[in-house]
Amino acid sequence: MKRILKLNFFIIIFLSISTTCILSISQPFWCFADVGKKEFESIEKVSQYILRRYPREEYAYIGLGRSPVPVMAYLQSEENTLIRNLPLTDFKYPDEELSLQQKKRLFQHFDQFLPLQTELRGRTKLLIIDLVIGGYTLISAHHYLTDYLQYYRPLDPRNEGLPPLSLAGFGIIMEGCFQRIKPKYKAALDLFPLKGNHDTLHDPEEQDHLIMMMAAKLYKDVAEYEGFDIELPRPPESYKPRPDYQAFVTEIRDAKSRYRAGLLNDAWTNQVFDVLAHPDASEEHQKFMTLLRQINTGQLPDAESTREAKAIILGLVRSLISPANAK
């Protein structure tokens, strides 16, 4: 089975001998991809750690935003797990208090996406899961969810008389980012390091495949929901589950069987990152890089020219990836 993955490509462009700039295309491109072997092994390693340390009979698993999509999809593919994806984009308020209006808006948002006590079926704990770079989103969510669970949630008649839920925070982190996490955050969170560093993001040999793809936000367009911005409230009914997410859960479930049978490989992911990170002298690759620079630096004269350039880039991506792995 194939998944359709919208890639918001992060292109490594060397602007000088000493400066590397990571640029992103504002619009995603459709590519067809299998889950790769190394990618799946990391997804399974992280997910199985969670299942062992935070038993499914005791915990409901809450994914924060769009970063932890592959792990949440794996957990959802398991039997007897309770999963919720909580939209929360760039929520970084670790050392400042929200206004009363913002708190009310945030807690109503939690109400919409977190399971009711009656849905927990005996579970008494929540585990929130995220990709960690600086730890700010995860620690901020932990802080406000703690307040929500202790003071706001019990006011709901549906939860009246039931004990508050306990909360734990789990972060997937690049090894190279570990030192930048404040000690007080390290003490509050369970951090799971995977091989990688932002300085070598473009090198598949120096990165865990999963952390590389998560850091480059290659999963965000198969997330279950659009993002949530506390400064830009939107009506609850505007959050519609995306079918792409359920398709990805199915792909992860299928990947388990194919991995056990020895049928997964890394051909597709290796090809993609070769195209993005290893410039060559071919005319196609030079055109690919030139158009990317023009789009990202605003050199094209109008929106129509930009759309045409992106259509050409999509064709180049498909031709630069070998047909056997791109279809």
pLDDT for 314 equals: 61
Same domain assignment for residues 153 and 179: yes
Residue 272 in domain:
no
Which of these three, 212, 228, 260, is where a domain ends?
Answer: 260
Position 133 in a domain? yes
* Spatial separation of the C-alpha atoms in residues 276 and 112, rounded to whole Å: 39
pTM summary value = 0.74
What pLDDT was estimated at residue 72? 97
Same domain as 300, residue 246: no
Same domain, 12 and 134: no
Domain of 299, in residue numbers? 3-33+279-326
The verdict on residue 265 lying in a domain is no
Indicate if 59 and 198 belong to the same structural domain.
yes
Structural contact between residues 214 and 195, judged by C-beta atoms closer than 8 angstroms: no
Q: Is there a single domain that holds both residue 25 and residue 53?
A: no
| Residue recorded with tokens 């350039």 | 309
Q: Are residues 79 and 26 in the same domain?
A: no
Q: How high is the pLDDT of residue 44?
A: 97
Please check whether residue 85 lies inside any domain of the structure: yes
At residue 30, the pLDDT reads 33
Residue 68 and residue 15 in one domain: no
Regarding whether 21 and 50 lie in a shared domain, the answer is no
Question: Are both 177 and 304 inside the same structural domain?
Answer: no
Question: What is the chain's pLDDT, residue by residue, as a tens digit (327 residues)?
Answer: 444 444 444 433 332 223 333 333 333 333 334 688 888 999 999 999 999 999 999 999 999 999 999 999 999 999 999 999 999 977 888 777 899 999 999 999 999 999 988 899 999 999 999 998 888 899 999 999 999 998 888 888 877 777 778 999 999 998 888 888 888 888 889 999 998 766 555 555 667 888 877 876 778 878 999 888 888 878 878 899 999 899 999 999 999 988 988 888 776 556 555 555 555 667 777 776 777 666 655 566 766 776 677 667 666 655 655 444 433
320 and 214, same structural domain? no
pLDDT of 297: 55
162 backbone dihedrals φ, ψ, rounded to 5°:
-95, 145
- Tell me the CB-side half-sphere exposure of residue 143, using CA atoms within 13 A: 17
Tally of structural domains, the chain? 2
CA-to-CA distance for 8 and 232, rounded, in angstroms?
23
CA nearest neighbour of 145 among 88, 70, 226: 88
Q: Establish if 289 belongs to a structural domain.
A: yes
Is the same domain home to 151 and 101?
yes
